[in-house]
Amino acid sequence: MSVNYSVRFDIYDKNTLEYRASWSFPMKFPFLPVHRLAFQLHVRTKSIVIEECQDLQCGVHGHCSRYVNTNISFCYCDEGWSGKLCDIQHKCDCASGSICLPSFACLCPLEKFGPRCYVKHQKCPCKNGGVCVPDDERSINYRGVFCICADGYAGPTCEILNTKIEVYFAREMAIPLYILVHFIQVFGKQAPPKQATIFKQVRLDEDKATLHRTIPFHLGFVETNSKTYYLSYLQQNYVPSSMLSWTVSFSDHCSPIVELFNQTIVSMHILRRMKYYHIPCRERKNLACFYDERHMCICDRDRRQANCLEFYHNSTYNCEGRIICENG
């Protein structure tokens, strides 16, 4: 008589130890001496609601749940109980604050480790509200613990204060649900500019968006809608750990080239077309910037010349204010 084996994964929140979800994967070739499984687990942002099932009775010490990948019902047992129907009582000598799993293993909180979670980390090196997380012993750069920094801090021990940026909106502008902030780091002639983009939701009860930046930058563009850009920040020398206040206004709007040139110039090859890019900067004194399909150009305020750099317009996100977007 053959026996079917499977591997079950239970996911818990690392901070609160709250149960999140479970997966079950069959071992299709149990006769092999070594069986490898390769798959991805997509953990939901919220824990699965445990509800009563019609096809499975889990008693008073269990709750009916379903595997994420198969939708098959199973009994999720309360702490101290195990068995298919959660009717077997067992005891663990896990330390206070940990969870005794049905396999008699102990699930430790972040500040403890060991088989029974009785050993505390000697000293957490994380600063400024950072959380110590045990490192993987199999890692090449094993350090014992590593730090998960609070918002606004960075570094191996969260010792670096990030640059704080508060983005406001002028009175004549409608406050958007979200913004994309494009940061440009300029290296001069040594290397091409480097672009990074951050998605940020604007809370319904606030008139600003607050974000933090660790990596240096010299230019900042705010995108409120698809390809609606505003030049919000321009600095020659980066000052780390500073506090910046940006105001998005129509005067800093970046115009597309179709609004600046006739169709003859727009239809030219980009190399031929770019030699005309200084004209709108000279003719329009209030023009801050403009863009084409590959570049973002800034009008020099003194010489009224166009300084253009390559710009990536096609940043895409799947949570543009419509679903939950973590860390945003």
Which residue do the tokens 């490192």 mark? 135
Give per-10-residue mean pLDDT for the chain (328 aa).
Answer: 79 84 85 80 67 73 86 86 87 87 83 84 82 71 78 90 94 91 89 91 90 92 90 90 93 95 95 94 93 94 87 66 43
Q: What pLDDT does 316 receive? A: 57
Picking from 113, 92, 112, 114, the residue whose alpha carbon sits closest to that of residue 102 is 92
Q: What's the pLDDT tens digit per position in 104-128?
A: 788 888 778 888 898 887 677 889 9
Assign 3-class secondary structure to the chain.
CCCCCEEEEEEECCCCCCEEEEEEEECCCCCCCCCCCCCCCCCCCCCCCCCCCCCCCCCCCEEEEECCCCCCEEEEECCCEECCCCCEECCCCCCCCCEECCCCCEECCCCEECCCCCEECCCCCCCCCCEEEECCCCCCCCCCEEEECCCCEECCCCCEECEEEEEEECCCCCCCCEEEEEEEECCCCCCCCEEEEEEEECCCCCCEEEEEECCCCCEEEEEEECCEEEEEEECCCCCCCCEEEEEECHHHEEEEHHHCCCHHHHCCCHHHHHHHCHHHHHHCCCCCEEECCCEEEEECCCCCCEEEEECCCCCCCCCCCCCCCCCC
On whether the CB atoms of residues 313 and 226 are closer than 8 A, the answer is no
Question: Residue 22: CB partners within 8 Å, gap ≥ 6?
Answer: 8, 9, 10, 11, 65, 67, 68, 74, 76
Phi, psi (degrees; rounded to nearest 5) at 295: -130, 160
Instruction: Give residue 259's identity as a one-letter amino acid code.
Output: E
Q: Are strands 243-248 and 163-169 parallel, antiparallel or unpaired?
A: parallel
Using CA atoms, how far residue 41 sits from 10, 80, 90, in Å, is 11, 27, 30
The pLDDT value recorded for residue 137 is 63
pLDDT of residue 279: 94
Q: pTM of the prediction?
A: 0.65
The CA distances from residue 71 to 45, 68, 74, in Å, are: 18, 6, 9
Any idea where the domains of the chain sit in the sequence? 1-89, 121-161, 163-310
- What local confidence, expressed as pLDDT, does residue 128 receive? 92
Indicate the burial class of 210 (C-beta count within 10 angstroms; 0-12, 13-18, 19 or more): middle
Q: Answer whether CATH 3.30.420.40 is correct for domain 121-161.
A: no
